[in-house]
Amino acid sequence: MAAEETGILQEAYPMKEGEDREMATEETGILQEAYPMKGGDGHYSYAKNSTHQRKATDFAKELIKAAIAEKLDKEILLCSKTFRIADLGCSVGPNSFFAVQNIVEAVESKYQHCQGLNSQIPDFQVFFSDHTANDFNLLFTSLPNDRRYYAAGVPGSFHGRLFPKDSLHFVHSSYAVHWLSGVPMEVVNKKSRAWNKGRIHYSSSGDEVFLAYKAQFDKDIEQFLQARAQEIVYGGLMALIVPGIPNGTHHSQNGSSMNFELLGSCLMDLARKGMVSEEKVDSFNIPTYQLSPQELEGAVERNGCFSIEEMEDLHVPVPSHSGEYKINGQVAASHLRAVMEGIIKQHFDEKILDVLFDCYRKKFDEIDFSIFKSGKVNNFFFLLKRKATNQATG
């Protein structure tokens, strides 16, 4: 009844709930679905534990304003009675709302400063998109009351088509494109050289594991760009904020992935205590990939439908135990839990969540923070523009 009354899809499962779903996960060891950030407004919710992501959005604010002022074609404005914006990987807000408001204000300013367009400011339609299990109820009940746009939800994976052809003028995505469509099959195959035994990510693993992740990323970013090339009008813009690593940096120096290494050590501690099986830990891998600007350039070139108009390092401050951007184990654990709770709960059991993140909290407070500072932690801003060609198919 709740779904009928609200018109919002709470969850979507390709198999019936219960034994069949659990059996499929057990048999394959592969995470078939991407999991949304933790919903609700509780202590561990993403809404209350995404300040780092918000900092990246704030740092990109002026870049997006400048991009719209300088790169958005006037022809688009002349023929658009409704300006359509999509935020991919919107989660539950409020970060998405700040980004969208910035885009709307920048487009309005563009109209006001273009000769002959001052009286033609269009309606704005904003599509908030994320996986079907995202907490769209919280998203829509949190929408700003003074918004100057019509809001709609679009459930689904951005690794495929989500919108009609030539329907979007501006696409925004922050802290989302680094999520893969799934875990590479090789890393959970005991017979593969890329079997990632005892680890949950590629950051501290051998080259075989890294190459399996890279191959999955290459496939996923190709599908992402192909879908967007179909959806974005010629001359339309796409702004991506992506955590990644500088060109030429070895994956072992990826500072942001050190969080996963710490979390993996906690899972192994639980396995030694008999709280989870070691086999269960061996079959658990986190489907994220930290790209380099060079890798995105290569993907865009292969796709052929976009030009890269701008690439910037956002220089978001690295957290430390002291200084302006302070963080401690409790804050770090809450932030990581907001992102990872769903994927961990599905693979293991929610009973381990408190113990697991308490272990993480203690280890975080005990570590030498220079270990994190020694890693390469970057947040990149990419501005892509849809070329006036039709190389995209599908």
- Indicate whether 221 belongs to any domain: yes
pLDDT of 355 over the 60 cut = yes
- Indicate whether 1 belongs to any domain: no
Q: Provide mean pLDDT across the span 90-95.
A: 86
Specify the CATH number for the domain of residue 86. Answer: 3.40.50.150
pLDDT at 242: 93
pLDDT at 38: 54
Q: CA 269, 273, 279, 281 torsion: positive or negative?
A: negative
- Indicate whether 55 belongs to any domain: yes
The span from the CA of 175 to the CA of 202, in Å, is: 19
In this structure, which amino acid lies at residue 334? S
User: Which residues neighbour 4 within 8 Å (Cβ) at sequence distance 6 or greater?
Assistant: none
pLDDT of 89 over the 80 cut = yes
Burial of 267 (0-12, 13-18, 19+ CB in 10 A): buried
Kindly state the percentage of the chain with pLDDT values over 90: 56
Which whole-number Å values give the CA distances from 131 to 107, 136, 201, in the listed order?
Answer: 27, 10, 22
| Backbone φ/ψ region at 277: left (φ over 0), alpha (ψ -120 to 50), beta | beta
Whole-structure pTM value: 0.85
Q: Is 258 helix (H, G, I), strand (E, B) or coil?
A: helix
**Number of structural domains, the chain?**
1
- Indicate whether 342 belongs to any domain: yes
Domain holding 182, by residue range, is 36-386
Which whole-number Å values give the CA distances from 75 to 51, 139, 234, 235, 391, in the listed order?
Answer: 37, 33, 10, 9, 21
pLDDT at 338: 84
Q: Is 389 helix (H, G, I), strand (E, B) or coil?
A: coil
Structure tokens at 366: 């005990």
At 8-41, the pLDDT tens digits run 344 443 333 333 333 333 333 333 455 666 555 5
- Indicate whether 74 belongs to any domain: yes
When pLDDT is cut at 50, 70 and 90, the band that residue 74 belongs to is confident
pLDDT at 57: 80
- Indicate whether 391 belongs to any domain: no
pLDDT of 211 over the 60 cut = yes
At 319-347, the pLDDT tens digits run 554 455 567 888 888 888 888 888 898 89
pLDDT at 283: 94
- Farthest CA pair distance, the chain: 71
- Three-state secondary structure readout of 102-170: HHHHHHHHHHHHCCCCCCCCCEEEEEEEECCCCCHHHHHHCCCCCCCCEEEEEECCCCCCCCCCCCEEE
At 149-160, the pLDDT tens digits run 999 999 999 999
- Indicate whether 182 belongs to any domain: yes
Average predicted confidence (pLDDT) for the chain: 83
6 alpha carbon, distance to own chain's centre: 26
Contact (CB, 8 A) for 258 and 339: no
Weakest-pLDDT range from 100-109, 228-237, 373-382:
373-382
- Indicate whether 25 belongs to any domain: no
